[in-house]
């Protein structure tokens, strides 16, 4: 499974960005898709995730009220709308996905098996 992210970039504080992630053509639906981020010198952390139907969304405390995760109309696509960005949001953002297996929570790194290469978000 190949996940490809896009939409990162540089933006000023209080600005917005929309990240996109698409999985390679798959004959099945990815159960959960989500976004993680990793800032320099810090561990990767879960930001937001969403189930296959789009009815269940999960956010980190830092993302609540500012970020929105959504599934696309095309199967196995996910978006992350970033708003009211702060310099501390600067990080590499990774798309992640899972089908079934060990589950440690919707924002736990170990719950996800497939990862993209990342897209950089820089807020100044």
Residue 40's pLDDT band, with cuts at 50, 70 and 90, is very high
Q: What is the mean pLDDT of residues 73-87?
A: 93
Q: Left if phi > 0, otherwise alpha if psi is -120 to 50, otherwise beta: which for 87?
A: alpha
pLDDT given at position 55: 81
CA-to-CA dists, residue 4 to 19, 20, 88, 116, angstroms: 11, 8, 24, 6
Q: What is the mean pLDDT of residues 26-53?
A: 92
Question: How much of the chain exceeds pLDDT 90, in percent?
Answer: 81
3-state helix/strand/coil string of 65-91:
CCEEEEECCCCCEEEEEECCCCHHHCE
pLDDT given at position 72: 86
> How do residues 48-70 score in pLDDT, each as one tens digit?
999 987 789 999 999 999 999 99
> How do residues 87-124 score in pLDDT, each as one tens digit?
999 999 999 999 888 899 999 999 999 999 999 999 99
Q: Chain-wide mean pLDDT for the chain?
A: 94
């Amino acid at each position: 499974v190949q996940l490809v992210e896009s939409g990162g970039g540089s933006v000023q504080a209080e600005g917005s960005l929309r990240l996109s992630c698409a999985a390679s053509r798959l004959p099945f639906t990815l159960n959960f898709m989500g976004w993680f981020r990793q800032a320099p010198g810090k561990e990767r952390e879960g930001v937001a995730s969403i189930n296959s139907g789009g009815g269940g969304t999960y956010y980190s405390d830092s993302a609540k009220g500012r970020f929105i995760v959504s599934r696309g109309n095309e199967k196995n696509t996910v978006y992350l709308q970033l708003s009211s960005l702060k310099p501390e949001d600067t990080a590499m953002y990774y798309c992640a996905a899972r089908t079934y297996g060990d589950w440690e929570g919707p924002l736990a790194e170990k719950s996800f098996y497939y990862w993209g290469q990342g897209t950089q978000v820089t807020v100044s």
